[in-house]
Amino acid sequence: MSSNARHVPVMLQRCLDMLAPALTEPGAVVVDCTLGAGGHSEALLKTFPEARLVALDRDPTALDLAGTRLAPFGERATLVRAVYHELPEVLERLGIPKVQGVLFDLGVSSMQLDEADRGFAYAQDAPLDMRMDQTTGISAAEVLNTYAPGDLVRILRAYGEEKQARRIVEAVVRERAKEPFTNSARLVDVIREALPQAAKRHGGNPAKRTFQALRIEVNAELASVEAAIPAAVAALAVGGRIAVLSYQSLEDRIVKQVFAAGAATTAPPGLPVVPERYQPRLKLLTRGAELPTEEEVAENRRAAPARLRGAERIREDIP
Protein backbone atom coordinates (compact mmCIF):
# COMPACT_ATOMS: atom_id res chain seq x y z
CA MET A 1 0.00 0.00 0.00
CA SER A 2 1.35 3.44 -0.89
CA SER A 3 2.01 5.96 1.85
CA ASN A 4 -0.65 8.26 0.41
CA ALA A 5 -3.26 5.52 0.59
CA ARG A 6 -2.28 4.41 4.09
CA HIS A 7 -2.18 7.81 5.72
CA VAL A 8 -5.71 9.13 5.39
CA PRO A 9 -6.00 12.67 6.81
CA VAL A 10 -8.52 12.83 9.65
CA MET A 11 -11.58 15.12 9.33
CA LEU A 12 -9.99 16.61 6.24
CA GLN A 13 -12.99 18.32 4.67
CA ARG A 14 -14.13 19.78 7.98
CA CYS A 15 -10.65 21.25 8.58
CA LEU A 16 -10.63 22.78 5.09
CA ASP A 17 -14.11 24.26 5.56
CA MET A 18 -13.14 25.71 8.93
CA LEU A 19 -10.03 27.44 7.56
CA ALA A 20 -11.52 28.43 4.19
CA PRO A 21 -12.83 31.95 5.00
CA ALA A 22 -9.30 33.03 5.97
CA LEU A 23 -7.42 31.53 3.01
CA THR A 24 -9.11 32.86 -0.12
CA GLU A 25 -7.11 36.07 -0.56
CA PRO A 26 -3.87 36.05 -2.61
CA GLY A 27 -0.81 35.85 -0.39
CA ALA A 28 -2.57 34.15 2.52
CA VAL A 29 -0.19 32.03 4.61
CA VAL A 30 -1.33 28.80 6.24
CA VAL A 31 0.85 26.82 8.64
CA ASP A 32 0.56 23.06 8.97
CA CYS A 33 2.27 22.59 12.33
CA THR A 34 2.19 18.78 12.09
CA LEU A 35 3.18 17.89 8.53
CA GLY A 36 3.44 14.11 8.90
CA ALA A 37 2.90 12.38 5.56
CA GLY A 38 1.64 15.63 4.05
CA GLY A 39 -2.01 14.76 3.50
CA HIS A 40 -3.49 17.85 5.12
CA SER A 41 -0.81 20.06 3.53
CA GLU A 42 -1.45 18.72 0.04
CA ALA A 43 -5.19 19.32 0.43
CA LEU A 44 -4.59 22.88 1.66
CA LEU A 45 -2.41 23.69 -1.36
CA LYS A 46 -4.90 22.19 -3.80
CA THR A 47 -7.98 23.78 -2.22
CA PHE A 48 -6.51 27.27 -1.79
CA PRO A 49 -4.44 27.97 -4.91
CA GLU A 50 -3.63 31.54 -3.82
CA ALA A 51 -2.24 30.45 -0.45
CA ARG A 52 1.34 29.79 0.64
CA LEU A 53 2.08 26.88 2.97
CA VAL A 54 4.61 26.67 5.79
CA ALA A 55 4.81 23.12 7.19
CA LEU A 56 6.64 21.97 10.32
CA ASP A 57 7.77 18.54 11.49
CA ARG A 58 10.54 17.33 13.78
CA ASP A 59 10.77 13.96 11.99
CA PRO A 60 13.35 13.95 9.15
CA THR A 61 11.69 10.92 7.54
CA ALA A 62 8.34 12.73 7.41
CA LEU A 63 9.97 15.79 5.87
CA ASP A 64 11.59 13.68 3.15
CA LEU A 65 8.41 11.82 2.25
CA ALA A 66 6.16 14.88 2.40
CA GLY A 67 8.74 16.89 0.45
CA THR A 68 8.41 14.48 -2.46
CA ARG A 69 4.62 14.61 -2.21
CA LEU A 70 4.52 18.41 -2.17
CA ALA A 71 7.27 19.00 -4.74
CA PRO A 72 4.76 19.77 -7.55
CA PHE A 73 3.69 22.89 -5.64
CA GLY A 74 7.17 24.39 -5.89
CA GLU A 75 7.83 27.56 -3.92
CA ARG A 76 4.29 27.67 -2.55
CA ALA A 77 5.35 25.06 0.03
CA THR A 78 8.09 25.73 2.60
CA LEU A 79 8.97 22.72 4.76
CA VAL A 80 10.87 23.31 8.00
CA ARG A 81 12.38 20.85 10.46
CA ALA A 82 11.06 22.14 13.77
CA VAL A 83 8.84 21.23 16.71
CA TYR A 84 5.52 23.08 16.59
CA HIS A 85 6.24 25.17 19.69
CA GLU A 86 9.10 26.72 17.66
CA LEU A 87 6.54 28.37 15.33
CA PRO A 88 7.41 31.96 16.38
CA GLU A 89 11.10 31.45 15.57
CA VAL A 90 10.26 29.80 12.23
CA LEU A 91 8.00 32.65 11.16
CA GLU A 92 10.59 35.23 12.23
CA ARG A 93 13.29 33.50 10.15
CA LEU A 94 10.96 33.44 7.15
CA GLY A 95 10.01 37.11 7.58
CA ILE A 96 6.31 36.36 8.09
CA PRO A 97 4.80 38.65 10.74
CA LYS A 98 1.28 37.17 10.75
CA VAL A 99 -0.49 34.18 9.20
CA GLN A 100 -4.06 33.60 8.08
CA GLY A 101 -4.44 29.93 9.00
CA VAL A 102 -2.95 27.35 11.36
CA LEU A 103 -3.64 23.61 11.49
CA PHE A 104 -2.53 21.14 14.16
CA ASP A 105 -3.02 17.37 13.89
CA LEU A 106 -1.61 16.38 17.27
CA GLY A 107 -0.22 13.09 18.54
CA VAL A 108 1.67 10.38 16.70
CA SER A 109 1.23 10.27 12.93
CA SER A 110 -0.11 7.28 11.01
CA MET A 111 3.22 7.09 9.22
CA GLN A 112 5.08 6.70 12.51
CA LEU A 113 2.63 4.06 13.72
CA ASP A 114 3.06 2.11 10.49
CA GLU A 115 6.87 2.09 10.67
CA ALA A 116 7.49 -0.94 12.87
CA ASP A 117 11.04 0.02 13.83
CA ARG A 118 9.89 3.26 15.46
CA GLY A 119 8.40 1.41 18.45
CA PHE A 120 5.19 3.47 18.71
CA ALA A 121 2.73 0.62 18.19
CA TYR A 122 2.06 -1.89 20.94
CA ALA A 123 0.50 -4.34 18.45
CA GLN A 124 3.85 -5.30 16.88
CA ASP A 125 7.26 -6.07 18.33
CA ALA A 126 9.86 -3.36 17.73
CA PRO A 127 12.72 -1.55 19.46
CA LEU A 128 11.36 0.67 22.25
CA ASP A 129 12.32 4.00 20.70
CA MET A 130 9.23 6.26 20.26
CA ARG A 131 11.25 9.36 19.40
CA MET A 132 9.62 11.45 16.68
CA ASP A 133 13.11 12.70 15.86
CA GLN A 134 15.43 9.72 16.24
CA THR A 135 18.55 11.89 16.07
CA THR A 136 18.03 13.47 19.48
CA GLY A 137 16.73 12.85 22.98
CA ILE A 138 16.25 9.67 25.00
CA SER A 139 14.32 6.60 23.89
CA ALA A 140 11.39 4.92 25.61
CA ALA A 141 13.72 2.06 26.58
CA GLU A 142 16.02 4.51 28.38
CA VAL A 143 13.04 5.94 30.26
CA LEU A 144 11.91 2.47 31.35
CA ASN A 145 15.37 1.32 32.33
CA THR A 146 16.71 4.43 34.13
CA TYR A 147 13.84 6.45 35.64
CA ALA A 148 13.17 6.12 39.35
CA PRO A 149 10.01 4.11 40.14
CA GLY A 150 8.25 7.17 41.50
CA ASP A 151 8.87 9.09 38.29
CA LEU A 152 7.55 6.21 36.20
CA VAL A 153 4.38 6.06 38.30
CA ARG A 154 3.91 9.81 37.87
CA ILE A 155 4.35 9.58 34.09
CA LEU A 156 1.89 6.70 33.69
CA ARG A 157 -0.71 8.45 35.85
CA ALA A 158 -0.30 11.93 34.39
CA TYR A 159 0.25 11.13 30.72
CA GLY A 160 -1.50 7.78 30.36
CA GLU A 161 -4.25 8.26 32.95
CA GLU A 162 -3.34 4.70 33.98
CA LYS A 163 -5.13 3.64 37.19
CA GLN A 164 -2.86 0.62 37.58
CA ALA A 165 0.35 2.66 37.29
CA ARG A 166 1.92 1.47 40.54
CA ARG A 167 1.26 -2.19 39.78
CA ILE A 168 2.75 -1.85 36.28
CA VAL A 169 5.82 0.02 37.51
CA GLU A 170 6.50 -2.56 40.23
CA ALA A 171 6.52 -5.25 37.52
CA VAL A 172 8.73 -3.14 35.23
CA VAL A 173 11.27 -2.52 38.00
CA ARG A 174 11.44 -6.24 38.80
CA GLU A 175 11.94 -7.16 35.16
CA ARG A 176 14.49 -4.48 34.33
CA ALA A 177 16.64 -5.72 37.24
CA LYS A 178 16.87 -9.07 35.44
CA GLU A 179 17.46 -7.59 31.99
CA PRO A 180 17.01 -4.08 30.54
CA PHE A 181 14.00 -3.51 28.29
CA THR A 182 14.78 -3.20 24.60
CA ASN A 183 11.64 -4.25 22.70
CA SER A 184 7.95 -3.50 22.85
CA ALA A 185 6.64 -7.09 22.97
CA ARG A 186 8.32 -7.79 26.30
CA LEU A 187 6.85 -4.63 27.80
CA VAL A 188 3.36 -5.58 26.57
CA ASP A 189 3.75 -9.04 28.15
CA VAL A 190 4.89 -7.53 31.46
CA ILE A 191 1.90 -5.16 31.51
CA ARG A 192 -0.54 -7.99 30.76
CA GLU A 193 0.89 -10.09 33.56
CA ALA A 194 0.84 -7.19 36.03
CA LEU A 195 -2.79 -6.20 35.58
CA PRO A 196 -5.70 -7.84 37.42
CA GLN A 197 -8.22 -9.65 35.22
CA ALA A 198 -10.87 -6.98 35.77
CA ALA A 199 -8.60 -4.28 34.35
CA LYS A 200 -8.03 -6.31 31.17
CA ARG A 201 -11.70 -6.80 30.30
CA HIS A 202 -12.40 -3.29 29.01
CA GLY A 203 -10.71 -0.49 27.07
CA GLY A 204 -8.84 -2.36 24.36
CA ASN A 205 -5.17 -3.33 24.60
CA PRO A 206 -4.06 -2.98 28.25
CA ALA A 207 -0.69 -1.57 27.12
CA LYS A 208 -2.08 1.42 25.22
CA ARG A 209 -2.08 3.86 28.15
CA THR A 210 1.50 2.99 29.12
CA PHE A 211 2.68 3.39 25.52
CA GLN A 212 0.89 6.75 25.27
CA ALA A 213 2.53 7.91 28.50
CA LEU A 214 6.01 6.88 27.38
CA ARG A 215 5.58 8.55 23.98
CA ILE A 216 4.45 11.81 25.57
CA GLU A 217 7.40 11.75 28.00
CA VAL A 218 9.99 10.91 25.32
CA ASN A 219 8.81 13.69 23.00
CA ALA A 220 7.79 16.25 25.68
CA GLU A 221 4.50 16.48 23.81
CA LEU A 222 2.30 18.19 26.39
CA ALA A 223 4.88 20.88 27.12
CA SER A 224 5.11 21.52 23.37
CA VAL A 225 1.33 21.75 23.03
CA GLU A 226 1.09 24.09 26.03
CA ALA A 227 3.57 26.44 24.35
CA ALA A 228 2.46 25.95 20.75
CA ILE A 229 -1.27 26.68 20.90
CA PRO A 230 -0.91 30.17 22.48
CA ALA A 231 1.98 30.91 20.08
CA ALA A 232 -0.17 29.96 17.11
CA VAL A 233 -3.04 32.16 18.32
CA ALA A 234 -0.58 35.05 18.72
CA ALA A 235 0.66 34.51 15.15
CA LEU A 236 -2.83 34.83 13.64
CA ALA A 237 -3.79 38.02 11.83
CA VAL A 238 -7.23 39.44 12.56
CA GLY A 239 -9.63 37.25 10.61
CA GLY A 240 -7.18 34.35 10.74
CA ARG A 241 -8.36 30.92 11.82
CA ILE A 242 -6.89 27.98 13.75
CA ALA A 243 -8.05 24.34 13.69
CA VAL A 244 -6.70 21.75 16.13
CA LEU A 245 -7.22 17.98 16.01
CA SER A 246 -6.53 16.18 19.30
CA TYR A 247 -6.65 12.47 20.01
CA GLN A 248 -6.55 12.26 23.79
CA SER A 249 -8.09 14.20 26.62
CA LEU A 250 -4.87 15.77 27.92
CA GLU A 251 -4.16 17.55 24.62
CA ASP A 252 -7.80 18.48 24.07
CA ARG A 253 -8.02 20.01 27.55
CA ILE A 254 -5.07 22.32 26.79
CA VAL A 255 -6.63 23.45 23.49
CA LYS A 256 -10.01 24.00 25.17
CA GLN A 257 -8.47 26.13 27.91
CA VAL A 258 -6.45 28.33 25.54
CA PHE A 259 -9.42 28.92 23.23
CA ALA A 260 -11.80 29.57 26.14
CA ALA A 261 -9.42 32.12 27.65
CA GLY A 262 -9.06 33.89 24.30
CA ALA A 263 -12.83 34.01 23.81
CA ALA A 264 -13.51 35.47 27.27
CA THR A 265 -13.42 39.06 28.43
CA THR A 266 -10.56 39.94 30.77
CA ALA A 267 -12.30 42.96 32.28
CA PRO A 268 -12.57 43.28 36.05
CA PRO A 269 -16.10 42.43 37.20
CA GLY A 270 -18.62 45.24 37.54
CA LEU A 271 -17.45 47.56 34.74
CA PRO A 272 -20.49 49.21 33.11
CA VAL A 273 -18.66 49.37 29.76
CA VAL A 274 -15.90 46.94 28.80
CA PRO A 275 -12.90 48.75 27.24
CA GLU A 276 -11.55 47.44 23.94
CA ARG A 277 -8.37 46.02 25.50
CA TYR A 278 -10.46 43.69 27.65
CA GLN A 279 -12.63 42.38 24.81
CA PRO A 280 -12.21 38.76 23.62
CA ARG A 281 -9.47 38.08 21.06
CA LEU A 282 -11.05 34.91 19.72
CA LYS A 283 -14.41 33.70 18.45
CA LEU A 284 -15.00 29.98 18.90
CA LEU A 285 -15.85 28.11 15.69
CA THR A 286 -16.98 24.89 17.37
CA ARG A 287 -19.47 24.24 20.13
CA GLY A 288 -17.35 22.01 22.31
CA ALA A 289 -15.23 19.57 20.34
CA GLU A 290 -16.50 18.24 17.01
CA LEU A 291 -16.26 14.50 16.43
CA PRO A 292 -15.68 12.53 13.22
CA THR A 293 -18.74 11.09 11.53
CA GLU A 294 -19.63 7.42 11.86
CA GLU A 295 -18.88 7.04 8.14
CA GLU A 296 -15.36 8.42 8.55
CA VAL A 297 -14.62 6.19 11.52
CA ALA A 298 -15.84 3.19 9.53
CA GLU A 299 -13.43 4.10 6.72
CA ASN A 300 -10.51 5.15 8.92
CA ARG A 301 -10.40 3.63 12.41
CA ARG A 302 -7.65 6.04 13.47
CA ALA A 303 -10.17 8.87 13.25
CA ALA A 304 -12.23 7.43 16.12
CA PRO A 305 -10.67 9.36 19.04
CA ALA A 306 -10.30 12.64 17.11
CA ARG A 307 -11.63 15.88 18.61
CA LEU A 308 -11.65 19.06 16.50
CA ARG A 309 -11.73 22.60 17.89
CA GLY A 310 -11.45 25.86 15.97
CA ALA A 311 -11.25 29.58 16.62
CA GLU A 312 -11.02 32.86 14.69
CA ARG A 313 -8.88 35.83 15.68
CA ILE A 314 -11.23 38.83 15.96
CA ARG A 315 -8.95 41.56 17.32
CA GLU A 316 -5.30 42.38 17.96
CA ASP A 317 -3.77 42.41 21.41
CA ILE A 318 -3.86 45.88 22.92
CA PRO A 319 -1.18 46.67 25.51
How far apart are the two ends of the chain, measured CA to CA in Å?
53
Residue 84 annotated in ligand binding: yes
Q: Contacts by 59-64 with C-beta closer than 8 Å and gap 24+?
A: 59/109, 59/112, 59/132, 59/133, 60/133, 60/135, 61/111, 61/115, 62/35, 62/36, 62/37, 62/38, 62/109, 62/111, 62/112, 63/35
Residue 13 annotated in ligand binding: no
Phi/psi zone of residue 41: left (φ > 0), alpha (ψ -120 to 50 degrees), beta? Answer: alpha
Residue 202 annotated in ligand binding: no
How many other CB atoms are there within 10 angstroms of residue 179's CB atom?
Answer: 9
Residue 189 annotated in ligand binding: no
Strand-by-strand arrangement of the 99-105 sheet: 77-81, 52-57, 29-32, 99-105, 236-246, 307-313, 282-284
How many other CB atoms are there within 10 angstroms of residue 316's CB atom?
Answer: 12
CA distances 114 to 3, 108, 110, 120, 124, Å, are 10, 10, 6, 9, 10
Q: Are 281 and 5 in contact (CB under 8 A)?
A: no
317 phi and psi, to 5 degrees? -70, 140
Q: Are 135 and 183 in contact (CB under 8 A)?
A: no
Residue 112 annotated in ligand binding: yes
Q: Are 32 and 54 in contact (CB under 8 A)?
A: yes
Q: Are 22 and 52 in contact (CB under 8 A)?
A: no
- Return the closest-CA partner of residue 80 out of 112, 103, 105, 58: 58
From the annotation, which residues make up the binding site? 38-40, 57, 84, 105, 112
Query: Which residues are documented as binding site for S-adenosyl-L-methionine?
Result: 38-40, 57, 84, 105, 112
